[in-house]
Amino acid sequence: MRAAVVRSFTEPLVVEDRPVPTPAGHQVLVRMEASGLCHTDIHAARGDWPVKPSPPFVPGHEGIGIVEAAGGQVTHLAVGDRVAIPWLGEACGHCDHCVSGWETLCLAQENSGYSVDGSHAEYALAHGTYVVPVPDGIDPLDAAPLTCAGVTTYKAVKLSGARPGTRALVSGIGGLGHLALQYARIFGAETIAVDVTDAKLALARELGADHVIDARVQDVAEETHRLGGADAAISLAVSNESFGAAYGALRRGGTLVLVALPAEGKLELPVFDTVLNGTKVVGSIVGTREDLAEVFQLHRLGRTRVVRESRDLADINSAIDEVLKGKVSGRLVFDLGSTPA
Ligand code: NAD
Ligand code: ZN
Ligand code: ZN
């Protein structure tokens, strides 16, 4: 099988031939149909974060495919089922986080495409209990971006408190942001989209943003306060300055949800203003299996639109370049042999 492999943090990925793995115990073998390229894969390939993966490894955690074989302990999935392989590859299932609906905080978790091999390959192994069934009627190429960009921003919007009568700012209209904007609208908020390229600002307008701010030439905080300030701001841009700008855009009682993870990401907060304004700052990491099931249902009902372009896995290095240059509309997805739903 073909697999895209990170061999070192300083070299391009290599698409190499590997044997198809055999599932054991709780594992399933998934024949991949589609795998989305998340900005996290780029951080992983470059070793950007304090906790690093160990090369060689296969990145990818927006994997959609068909169960082709299963280990002896998998009883609830059948060969032929379509499943999603998300970032949360496995958790312990019994700690206080796992049993209280916060499995994404489990200290014993494995992460697909990071601590275990992921989905940028023709086949992948995954833990049967942590893959999420993809409902019929969803195109695998749409399901892929929903598996991280979708679930992550759906959760972040939930945590932001966006609802009718509130104003929500989405900073960064990329793979994550183009879906965040749609969820903020579904939750009933007035929306403000912020980005730094004409194409992404145009996409935000097309997706129904009530206001757009071009952070290259406009002051994000000032423009947002002109509108009354943001009750919620969701930081999805891979840029330290954008965190400060989103914080500055909040009105009293507002919530800043941190999602983007730039290398050496830092946010300095004025204590006085944060206290007097009653500001909440929350970190948000992906979403649970239940969140992803909800994301799939919303899409099946036609409430969300996945903006995406397909690429061949062989072009993974140029695809990474396109994302870094901000040239992609929505999400790039590797088409590994999908059949439309
Ligand atoms: P992306 O590259 O597709 O999108 C980033 C967007 O930010 C682009 O549209 C870019 O033009 C825009 N941008 C750049 N500078 C900006 C600025 N100063 N102000 C406003 N917008 C700006 O990336 P993505 O796949 O959407 O991922 C975004 C970040 O989220 C990455 O750091 C990724 O690792 C992280 N992430 C976090 C989680 C989580 O669970 N917390 C999950 C997935 C991804
Ligand atoms: Zn991701
Ligand atoms: Zn746990």
Q: Where in the chain is the domain with CATH 3.40.50.720?
A: 150-283
Looking at residue 194, its amino acid is: V
- Residue of the CA atom closest to atom 29 of ligand 1: 260
Q: Could you give the C-alpha distances from 30 to 45, 58, 171, 178, 286, in angstroms and in order?
A: 23, 14, 34, 28, 22
pLDDT tens digits, 183-230: 999 999 999 999 999 999 999 999 999 999 999 999 999 999 999 999
The number of the ligand 1 atom at minimal distance from the alpha carbon of 177 is 26
Predicted local distance difference test score (pLDDT) of residue 300 = 98
Q: Kindly give the residue spans of alpha helices, DSSP state H, lying in the chain.
A: 39-46, 96-99, 140-145, 151-160, 177-186, 198-206, 220-226, 240-248, 271-277, 289-300, 316-324
Q: Where in the chain is the domain with CATH 3.90.180.10?
A: 2-133+307-335
Q: Count the Cβ atoms, other than its own, within 10 Å of residue 283.
A: 11
10-residue averages of pLDDT along the chain (341 residues): 98 98 98 98 98 98 98 98 98 98 98 98 98 98 99 99 98 98 98 98 98 98 98 97 98 98 95 98 98 98 98 98 97 87 56
Give first-to-last CA distance, the chain, whole Å.
Answer: 24
DSSP states along 19-64: PPP---TTEEEEEEEEEE--HHHHHHHHT-SSS---SSB---S-EE
- Residue of the CA atom closest to atom 36 of ligand 1: 260
Predicted local distance difference test score (pLDDT) of residue 338 = 73
Report the distance separating Cα 76 and Cα 14, nearest Å.
35
| Centre of ligand 2 from the C-alpha of residue 72, in Å | 30
The number of the ligand 1 atom at minimal distance from the alpha carbon of 286 is 40
| Cβ 144 vs Cβ 333: under 8 Å | yes
Predicted local distance difference test score (pLDDT) of residue 244 = 97
Measured from CB, residues less than 6 Å from any atom of ligand 1 are 38-40, 43, 148, 152, 171-177, 194-197, 200, 215, 236-239, 241-242, 259-262, 284-286, 323, 326
Predicted local distance difference test score (pLDDT) of residue 299 = 98
| Centre of ligand 1 from the C-alpha of residue 254, in Å | 21
pTM: 0.98
Q: 336 phi and psi, to 5 degrees? A: -105, 25
Q: Could you give the C-alpha distances from 99 to 91, 94, 214, in angstroms and in order?
A: 11, 6, 43
| Cβ 332 vs Cβ 323: under 8 Å | yes
- Give the closest residue to 35 by CA, choosing from 154, 114, 122: 122
In a 13 Å sphere around the CA of 74, the CA atoms on its Cβ side amount to: 23
Topology of 150-283 in CATH? Rossmann fold (3.40.50)
Predicted local distance difference test score (pLDDT) of residue 37 = 98
Tell how strand 132-133 and strand 123-127 pair up. Answer: unpaired
Q: Count the Cβ atoms, other than its own, within 10 Å of residue 305.
A: 15
Q: Cβ contacts of residue 302 below 8 Å, gap of 6+?
A: none
The number of the ligand 1 atom at minimal distance from the alpha carbon of 155 is 40
Q: Strand runs (DSSP E) across 58-150, as ranges? A: 63-70, 82-85, 88-90, 110-111, 123-127, 132-133
Report the distance separating Cα 135 and Cα 139, nearest Å.
10
- Give the closest residue to 31 by CA, choosing from 75, 64, 72: 64
Q: What SS3 state is found at 151?
A: helix
pLDDT tens digits, 101-120: 999 999 999 999 999 999 99
| Centre of ligand 2 from the C-alpha of residue 36, in Å | 8
- CATH class entry, domain 2-133+307-335: alpha beta
Report the distance separating Cα 176 and Cα 234, nearest Å.
10
